[in-house]
Amino acid sequence: MNKIDSLKSDDERFYGVGHFDVVIIDEAHRSVYQKYKTIFDYFDSLLIGLTATPKKDIDRNTYSLFEIEDDNPTFAYELNQAVNDKFLVPPKAMEVPIKFPLEGVKYKELPEKDKAHYEELFGDPITGEVYIDEIDKGKLNSWLFNKDTVDKVLAHLMENGIKVAGGDKLGKTIIFAKNHKHAAFIEKRFNKNYPEYGGSFLRIIDNYADKAQDLLERFCEDKVEMEPQIAVSVDMMDTGVDAPRVVNLVFFKRVRSFAKYWQMIGRGTRLRFNLFAPGKDKEYFVIFDFCSNFEFFDEFPDGITAASSQGLSEQIFEAKLDLVIALRDKTDATEEEDQLMENFTENLHQLIKELDENRYQVRSVWKYVKKYKERESWENLNIGDQNDIKTHLAKLPSYKDDEDELAKRFDLIILKLHLALINGNRSQENYINRIINIGNRLEKKRNIPAVAEKINTIREVQDGDFWKQISLLQLEKVREELRSLIQFLDKEKLDPVYSNFEDTVYENKIKEWDILGGYQNSPSYMNRVEAFIRKNKNHLVIDKLYKNLPITEKELVILEQFLSKGEIGTDFKEHINGAPLGKFVRNIIGLDIRVANNLFSDFIQDENLNADQITFVNKIIQHLNEKGTIEKQLLSSATFEKGYERGILDVFKGDKERITKIISIVDRVNGNAGIA
């Protein structure tokens, strides 16, 4: 970005918009959607993105970045296809349910010996009364680390994992851990339970590890098998690691991101010849899932959409804008609140007014910058104005931006409390409790002169009565007086708790999942063709087919050219197997239900039909609406009307006149789709 914005000595830019012919983005699913997107917008070049897991999040959509519709990549080579073509190997996905990671630790369900242990950890030292009834499953391996849980996971891996060296040694394995403390605990338990491996068989490979890069290279070495044999990874090996010898994956954390889930699975898919012996290649790998990830993605194939990746400054800008609107719309606003609204409005205006016009990010939305540099544009903002400001201006960089991140985070808490108080939201209690907690922690730092100077305000915010009649102006005073003190607070830490409750592997519920069957990163080619045709339903010729209007040979040529020059190319011709193009399209879009009903309305009204005959005609109408055409031989089969062996012949009991009328209507419909 700096190179784009900076100038050479002769006032020319280092990179003009036409400097590159092609810009290639590798791993295009990653966070290229904020600042980097501006770079791609700047260059007038062909943009090529490479990714195994495109995203469709609202604010991080890989498809929209390349200006193509969702699920319709320019080219896709699917995992299933790569497996079928023998370029990759498939997974054998084993779900291994284990009690605590799935259900948490519940005091009342523990055996007596474990209840005593629980009371030691979470009971009052004087009364012995338990003050935590249960530990949520999300807390396990966050701050509660249970020996038996880890021991059972490792034992299952060592017993059931794929072996090499004639079956004597566990093959290369990646354990995906929840965090570094979890990884360290796994390493400690492994070395305790399997001392014969000398401490080098399993190693942590994450950003905390010494010589992590060297360990990673040794683990991934393909020519010669080198220790470590088991890598415990925290994010570092989830993506972008090429380790063909890996035959076991352990999912020891919950995953909810579609991209991360399939990237993790991808660590085991690499092909490896002669892995087990000459001529004995790697044919598959095993995944042991201890946290129900397979079940989750079976129910929610797209995962959970990630929260917005807005920067802190952008969130503050938007909160101030929301506050301005909320104060403006407040019918009982005081003079002080009106002044507060004016102050925030002026602050927002100044931020836009002071933007550096030489920066490309600013110039790319110049239309909006120019408008809101004018103070009068901030008066009487409507919904459209608010949307424009949030969409185009809130994220723009400001050189005068406050660099004290902790102070800015405190600002955001106060701004959100402002809004909660005005709107009467229940969230105000949460924000008030957070400020009380901050006040309590600040008072412990009163030996610092800057903190001592504001001790009255610090004690005020800890008093429950202070919050009963709090005004917005008082709240703003709290923000101004305390924001610069947040830097003195110690980071809150929750000490880890190590337990040894007996966990349970539900052996009778261990099952294998067909996860490749549920993998469809992008639709098949024919699905894309169908989507393209449906999307262009209003095209002149497609619309005529939909409404059963006759089409000419010239119009069919126009339709073929339209499809061939579109994003689906000419490959569709290979898939229609010589069928008329009109029929191919009609079968996709169906026949307008109103047209189908009108075709048979006179027949139904003029003929004295019985219930079965009316049902039969309605089935024809329904079939035409869904499929667009109907094969005549289908009409005379039991497939079309169960209970009548010869279909139309039995339903109408050999009434040739009525049968002829129906077939005549069907012929006209089929004929208008180009079927002889």
DSSP string, 278-305: TTB----EEEEESS-HHHHHHH-TTB-P
The residue ranking higher by pLDDT, 126 or 137, is 137
Q: Is the predicted pLDDT of residue 359 greater than 70, yes or no?
A: yes
* Same domain membership, residue 415 and residue 474: yes
* Domain-terminating residue out of 437, 469, 488: 488
The residue ranking higher by pLDDT, 324 or 635, is 324
* Domain-terminating residue out of 465, 488, 511: 488
Q: Is the predicted pLDDT of residue 109 greater than 50, yes or no?
A: yes
If DSSP codes are grouped into helix, strand and coil, which group holds residue 12? coil
Q: How confident is the model at residue 417 (pLDDT cuts 50, 70, 90)?
A: very high
Q: What is the mean pLDDT of residues 325-343?
A: 89
Task: Tell me the two tokens of residue 332.
Answer: 């009982």
∠ at Cα 381 (375, 384), nearest 5°? 125
Is 127 a member of any domain?
Answer: no
* Same domain membership, residue 354 and residue 455: yes
Q: What is the mean pLDDT of residues 25-53?
A: 72
* Same domain membership, residue 363 and residue 454: yes
Task: Tell me the two tokens of residue 477.
Answer: 């005073």
Is 282 a member of any domain?
Answer: yes
Q: Is the peptide bond before 228 cis (omega within 30 degrees of 0)?
A: yes
Is 122 a member of any domain?
Answer: no
Q: What is the mean pLDDT of residues 392-412?
A: 78
The confidence score (pLDDT) of residue 310 equals 75
* Same domain membership, residue 273 and residue 403: no
The CA distance from 490 to 571, in Å, is 63
Q: What is the pLDDT of residues 49-96, one digit of tens each?
A: 887 766 555 445 667 777 776 667 777 778 888 888 889 999 999 999
Is 383 a member of any domain?
Answer: yes
* Same domain membership, residue 250 and residue 181: yes
Is 365 a member of any domain?
Answer: yes
Q: What is the pLDDT of residues 309-323, one digit of tens each?
A: 678 888 999 999 999
| Residue range(s) defining the domain that contains residue 254 | 99-105+139-299
The confidence score (pLDDT) of residue 18 equals 78
* Same domain membership, residue 627 and residue 549: no
* Same domain membership, residue 328 and residue 289: no
Average pLDDT over the chain reads 85
* Domain-terminating residue out of 544, 560, 589: 589
Q: What is the pLDDT of residues 476-532, one digit of tens each?
A: 999 999 999 999 988 766 789 999 999 999 999 999 998 886 555 555 567 778 888
* Same domain membership, residue 600 and residue 468: no
**Least confidently predicted of 94-108, 232-246, 561-575:** 561-575
pTM > 0.75: yes or no: no
Domain count, the chain: 5
Is 468 a member of any domain?
Answer: yes
Q: What is the mean pLDDT of residues 177-185?
A: 96
Q: Which residues lie across from 249 on neighbouring strands?
A: 174, 287
Other Cβ atoms closer than 10 A to 488: 14
Q: Is the predicted pLDDT of residue 676 greater than 60, yes or no?
A: no
The confidence score (pLDDT) of residue 31 equals 52
Q: What is the mean pLDDT of residues 586-615?
A: 85
The CA distance from 479 to 412, in Å, is 10
Is 351 a member of any domain?
Answer: yes
Q: How confident is the model at residue 131 (pLDDT cuts 50, 70, 90)?
A: confident
* Same domain membership, residue 244 and residue 179: yes
Is 395 a member of any domain?
Answer: yes
CB 250 within 8 A of CB 174: yes
The confidence score (pLDDT) of residue 58 equals 42
* Same domain membership, residue 560 and residue 608: no
The confidence score (pLDDT) of residue 3 equals 60
Q: What is the mean pLDDT of residues 96-111?
A: 94
Q: Is the predicted pLDDT of residue 119 greater than 80, yes or no?
A: yes
- DSSP track, 608-638: ---HHHHHHHHHHHHHHHHHS---HHHHTST
* Same domain membership, residue 458 and residue 600: no
Q: What is the CA radius of gyration of the chain?
A: 34
The confidence score (pLDDT) of residue 201 equals 97
* Same domain membership, residue 284 and residue 166: yes
The CA distance from 68 to 46, in Å, is 14
